[in-house]
Amino acid sequence: MTATPGATPTIVLVGHGMVGQRFLEALAERGLTATHRVVVLCEEPRPAYDRVALTSYFSGKSPEDLSMTDMEFIETHGIELYVGDPAVTVDREARKVTARSGEVFGYDTLVLATGSYPFVPPVPNKDADGCFVYRTIEDLLAIEEYAKSRATVGAVVGGGLLGLEAAGALKGLGVQAHIVEFAPRLMPVQVDEGGGAALLRTIEDMGLSVHTGVGTQEIVVDAAGAVTGMKLSDGSELATDMVVFSAGVRPRDQLARDCGLTVGERGGIAVDEQCRTVSDPHVFAIGECALASDGRVYGLVAPGYEQAETAAATIAEDEASFTGADLSTKLKLLGVDVASFGDAHGTAEDCLDVVYSDSRAGLYKKLVVGRDGTLLGGILVGDAEAYGTLRAFTGSVPPVSPESLVLPAGAGAPAQLGPSALPDDAVICSCHNVTKGTIRGAVTEHSCTTVPEVKKCTKAGTGCGSCVKVLGQLVTAELEASGVEVDKGLCGCFGQTREELYEIVLALRITTYQDLLDRYGRDGARGGDGCEICKPTVASIIASLAPTIGASGYVLDGEQAALQDSNDHFLANLQKNGSYSVVPRIPGGEVTPEGLIVIGEIARDFGLYTKITGGQRIDMFGARVEQLPLIWARLVDAGFESGHAYGKSLRTVKSCVGQTWCRYGVQDSVRMAIDLELRYRGLRSPHKLKSAVSGCQRECAEAQSKDFGVIATANGWNLYVGGNGGATPRHADLLAQDLSDAELIRLIDRFLMFYIRTADRLERTSVWLERIPGGLDHVRDVVVEDSLGICEELESLMAAHVSHYRDEWAETINDPEKLARFVSFVNAPDTPDPVVGFVPERDQIKPDLPLLSIGLRPRAEDVLEGSAQR
């Protein structure tokens, strides 16, 4: 079809990568999706995904996790997305695009976002069996399959960003990795000789072999055509089973060439400042396929986003232009921070270098400074904490001396510079070109008071995320400067945070809530009763520290009983009709036939509804409060104990059957799951904890969706942290790999106690990991490297918990005084609650009365948590 006068104008987007998706969002923001037909032709078999985070696939992310495409957005805006159906020809005269499927689309405006393709050096046998490129998810899937089945040694051609990521991926797959780089140093575009040397030392310490200053002459193959080695330009030969080419990219401009659009001498579709092609006013080009008006092809996502914004604005007849972009980058390669910004290599005339280098620690920091003190650029290797502030000061004279910006704490440097000292025109978020002034305006003019609100208002922090920490500091500073008191206290009773209260209780051995309130509560709260926020929070802190501070670890002892919420108050989960659930612990999901018979008999005798949960437990619903002790007496007698489904504590450690039964298993996952569940049972924490152990990479136990998850490898265990399912699922991050049993348990001990120590109330590990300054890197530094020197204390706290664990229900049924609370009516203890009724359903029971008819209201946290049975 062709564009028809008077018909709805059509925009055809060719390519659906990160920049293409940003273009669609920019169209929607300007209302163009309501006035135009929008067609997207996507070559890959999946819509836009985060190519910047591609390597995270090998640390547990799934292709779905990497997706950047909200299908609800696509449907809401009526966008026609054709996946796996790229454009093959463009007829500019007729304004038609033909897709591979044969379908023809007329256009009024054509936008080319075809990206780039991997450059493969023209060496003999470059297409042999065992040769790969490193560009798409499909590439990664092919590399993974080949590495696991046919390779023990791999070579990566290219020592740039993607080359180092590819080498790290091979190492993670258990393949011995070599890096071959033609330049004399790694990452020659981003870092100088000193930075390259620091990076080289760190990477070699990880067990990777690096060959710089040499090129690939030939890929050596066997009689079957499979890779067996590679010849290098220095005459040496490298034995390898597979080769991954990651030697740079080239603009994908063939479609443009074929239809007669002007391209640059070295590739790239020539465009003007509005990203309109110089050959045709109806055709735009954005992203890595575009040769900008300044003569550059930009290979970073931030300039691509800016080009997408410019093209969308131009189509909407708004004024916009793209004349160049910031090439600053902040990366984490094989766990090493690498950043560069501004004139990183000091090409300006009469500039000076300020350098700090510590080869033993793998640190290298260089600032390029003009004679007048202007910060021109810099390179950071090993520690990029100051990147956000330094990049924002580029082009201006910082208010402190340059050396203070690179010297580490304690090295004699003046006070470090904070983001509040930045000028308003400093760019904080380079992905979306958001300045400090814009962020301040979001707070002062648009009444944003939190980082999420500012993100939504400005888009700052929604790209690569490297600016989020600075963003948070600016929001807090602006609120305080505006006279808004930023109250960081837990609640109206305490001016301290949960973390601060934890430290007070631990340091001063405070064993009661009332003592803590009287000594550290706010004026007016002292001597009072507290509130529903701080009472259960402090109760949890005291319970988690009970063995260390000398308090009772039993939550229904004395004052502790009055602090508990409705669930802990009866050691059971309150259900819809006022009845309770009974959840015995089944460690690792393993249960004997005798145990199953006992559970079945109890459910039958008390008429309970039974359900097997996703956490590999059997839940029994419908118990009246006075029946709970009777039920638990039989369960305890049969060897069961509390499953803590009611508490903010460890719920389950799920497992697959592991190597004992499964032909794919490489470790005994059931044994490990049982060991972990029995070790951490009863551990009170800011929020519930879920875990799982998978016996191999097939991940049948879904360990990467848990607060701490364990996956078996041929060499031990990989530990993942900070995952969760629910309404806002998050994949866990890899904390450490190939751990022995002892190493694994030691790191989990440290991780859990550090989380309990520093998390906010009702804060899952996933939220905590993203909120805590430094994120995963900081947590790894603390619990793996012991950067704060507290690991011995963390281990001691956990050891105290393990040695003092007592089953709450076993204690309860043996104490007549405690049993007295389990009645529906204090003045008529033998009378059951008449409103607790049931009706039959599917040969079991269900609640008879709706929640509102019996006057019950759920707590806010229960609404968010659901029934929380699993």
Show which of 225, 247, 269 is a domain's final residue.
Answer: 247
Show which of 291, 315, 339 is a domain's final residue.
Answer: 315
Three-state DSSP state, 194: helix
The residues pairing with 434 across neighbouring beta strands, listed in sequence order, are 429
Do both 788 and 662 map to the same domain?
A: yes
* 8 A C-beta contact, residue 24 and residue 75: no
- pLDDT at residue 485 in the model: 67
- pLDDT at residue 856 in the model: 37
* 8 A C-beta contact, residue 277 and residue 290: no
- Residue 428 included in any domain: no
CA-CA-CA-CA torsion sign (431, 432, 437, 439): negative
Ranges 110-124, 194-208, 354-368, 839-853, most confident:
110-124
* DSSP character string of 246-310: -S-EEE--HHHHHTT--B-TTS-EEB-TTSBBSS-TTEEE-GGGEE-TTS----SHHHHHHHHHH
- Residue 57 included in any domain: yes
> Which single residue is written with the structure tokens 């499927």?
101
pLDDT digits (tens, 9 = 90+) for 441-479: 888 888 887 777 888 888 887 766 667 777 877 887 888
- pLDDT at residue 453 in the model: 83
Instruction: Tell whether the model's pLDDT for residue 359 goes beyond 80.
Output: no
* 8 A C-beta contact, residue 313 and residue 26: yes
- Residue 88 included in any domain: yes
Question: Do the strands 351-358 and 363-370 form a parallel or antiparallel pair, or are they unpaired?
Answer: antiparallel
* DSSP character string of 583-624: -B--GGG---HHHHHHHHHHHHHHT-EEEE-TTS-EEEEEE-
pLDDT digits (tens, 9 = 90+) for 204-262: 888 889 999 999 999 999 999 999 999 999 999 999 999 999 988 899 999 999 999 99
* 8 A C-beta contact, residue 465 and residue 505: no
Q: What is the mean pLDDT of residues 580-606?
A: 92
Neighbours of 595 (CB within 10 A): 17
Model confidence at 343, pLDDT cuts 50, 70, 90, reads confident
Domain with residue 744: its CATH number is 3.30.413.10
> Which single residue is written with the structure tokens 């259960």?
536
Instruction: Tell whether the model's pLDDT for residue 316 goes beyond 90.
Output: yes
pLDDT digits (tens, 9 = 90+) for 111-123: 999 999 999 999 9
Residue 789 exposed, middle or buried by CB count within 10 Å (0-12, 13-18, 19+): exposed
- Torsion angle, alpha carbons of 577, 582, 586, 589, to 10: -20
Of 244, 242, 245, the closest CA to residue 146 belongs to 242
Do both 216 and 281 map to the same domain?
A: no
Instruction: Tell whether the model's pLDDT for residue 33 goes beyond 60.
Output: yes
Of 112, 109, 79, the closest CA to residue 95 belongs to 109
On average, the pLDDT of the chain sits at 86
- pLDDT at residue 796 in the model: 93
- pLDDT at residue 867 in the model: 34
Model confidence at 850, pLDDT cuts 50, 70, 90, reads very low
Do both 266 and 217 map to the same domain?
A: no
Domain with residue 178: its CATH number is 3.50.50.60
Angle between helical axes of 534-549 and 498-508 (0-180°, round to 10): 30
What is the span of the domain harbouring residue 144? 131-247
Show which of 188, 218, 247 is a domain's final residue.
Answer: 247
Of 733, 671, 680, the closest CA to residue 703 belongs to 733
Instruction: Tell whether the model's pLDDT for residue 482 goes beyond 80.
Output: no
The dihedrals phi and psi of 771, each to the nearest 5 degrees, come to: -85, -40
- Residue 647 included in any domain: yes
Separation of alpha carbons 755 and 33, rounded Å: 45
Model confidence at 299, pLDDT cuts 50, 70, 90, reads confident
- Residue 830 included in any domain: no
Model confidence at 868, pLDDT cuts 50, 70, 90, reads very low
Do both 91 and 138 map to the same domain?
A: no
Q: Which residues of 207-232 are buried (b: 16+ CB within 10 A; e: fewer)?
A: ebebbbebbbbebbbeeeebbbbbbb
The residues pairing with 211 across neighbouring beta strands, listed in sequence order, are 180
CA-CA-CA-CA torsion sign (490, 492, 493, 496): positive
Do both 298 and 175 map to the same domain?
A: no
Separation of alpha carbons 292 and 264, rounded Å: 10
* 8 A C-beta contact, residue 705 and residue 870: no
Instruction: Tell whether the model's pLDDT for residue 83 goes beyond 50.
Output: yes
> Which single residue is written with the structure tokens 């794919």?
664
Do both 689 and 595 map to the same domain?
A: yes
* DSSP character string of 427-460: EEETTTTEEHHHHHHHHHTS---SHHHHHHHH-T
Ranges 270-274, 380-384, 805-809, most confident:
270-274
Question: Do the strands 573-574 and 580-582 form a parallel or antiparallel pair, or are they unpaired?
Answer: antiparallel
Tell me the two tokens of residue 208. 């990777």
Tell me the percentage of the chain whose pLDDT exceeds 90. 48
Q: Which residue has the higher pLDDT, 727 or 868?
A: 727
Separation of alpha carbons 579 and 498, rounded Å: 32
- Residue 358 included in any domain: no
Do both 211 and 256 map to the same domain?
A: no
Q: How many CA atoms lie within 13 A of 600 on its CB side?
A: 7
Model confidence at 851, pLDDT cuts 50, 70, 90, reads very low
* 8 A C-beta contact, residue 540 and residue 648: yes
Do both 725 and 791 map to the same domain?
A: yes
Q: How far is CA 775 from the centre of its chain?
A: 9
Q: What is the mean pLDDT of residues 313-332?
A: 85
Number of domains in the chain: 4
**Ranges of H-type helices in 30-121:** 32-35, 63-66, 71-76
Separation of alpha carbons 518 and 504, rounded Å: 13
44: left (phi over 0), alpha (psi -120 to 50) or beta: beta
- Residue 420 included in any domain: no
* 8 A C-beta contact, residue 431 and residue 462: yes
Q: What angle do CA 73, 74, 78 make, to 5 degrees?
A: 115
Do both 600 and 653 map to the same domain?
A: yes
pLDDT digits (tens, 9 = 90+) for 141-169: 999 999 988 999 999 999 888 888 889 88
Do both 531 and 607 map to the same domain?
A: no
Do both 213 and 141 map to the same domain?
A: yes
SS3 of 294-346 = CCCCCCCHHHHHHHHHHHHHHHCCCCCCCCCCCCCEEEEECCEEEEEEECCCC
Separation of alpha carbons 794 and 796, rounded Å: 5
- How many Å is the Cα radius of gyration of the chain? 31
Instruction: Tell whether the model's pLDDT for residue 561 goes beyond 70.
Output: no
- pLDDT at residue 415 in the model: 44
Question: Do the strands 104-106 and 109-112 form a parallel or antiparallel pair, or are they unpaired?
Answer: unpaired
- pLDDT at residue 464 in the model: 65
Report how far apart, in Å, the C-alpha atoms of 288 and of each of 18, 259, 401 are: 11, 19, 38
Separation of alpha carbons 278 and 309, rounded Å: 18
pLDDT digits (tens, 9 = 90+) for 696-735: 988 899 999 999 999 999 899 999 999 987 655 688 999 9
Do both 92 and 28 map to the same domain?
A: yes
Contacts (Cβ under 8 Å, ≥6 apart) of 405: 354, 367, 386, 389, 390, 398, 416, 417
- pLDDT at residue 565 in the model: 63
Model confidence at 854, pLDDT cuts 50, 70, 90, reads very low
Tell me the two tokens of residue 667. 């470790």
Q: What angle do CA 471, 474, 475 make, to 5 degrees?
A: 85
Tell me the two tokens of residue 377. 């650029």
Least confident range from 40-49, 400-409, 794-803, 852-861: namely 852-861
- Residue 657 included in any domain: yes
Neighbours of 263 (CB within 10 A): 20
- pLDDT at residue 204 in the model: 86
pLDDT digits (tens, 9 = 90+) for 529-558: 888 888 889 988 998 898 898 887 777 777
Separation of alpha carbons 678 and 461, rounded Å: 41
Q: What is the mean pLDDT of residues 395-420?
A: 64
Separation of alpha carbons 409 and 822, rounded Å: 57
Separation of alpha carbons 157 and 178, rounded Å: 9
Question: Do the strands 283-285 and 87-91 form a parallel or antiparallel pair, or are they unpaired?
Answer: unpaired
* DSSP character string of 124-175: TTTTSBTEEE-SSHHHHHHHHHHHHHH-SEEEEE--SHHHHHHHHHHHHTT-
Least confident range from 1-10, 60-69, 164-173, 747-756: namely 1-10
- pLDDT at residue 866 in the model: 35
Sheet strands side by side (includes 650-655): 650-655, 689-694, 708-713, 716-721, 733-739
Of 162, 112, 151, the closest CA to residue 129 belongs to 151
Q: What is the mean pLDDT of residues 60-75?
A: 85
Separation of alpha carbons 485 and 705, rounded Å: 37
Q: Which residue has the higher pLDDT, 412 or 733?
A: 733
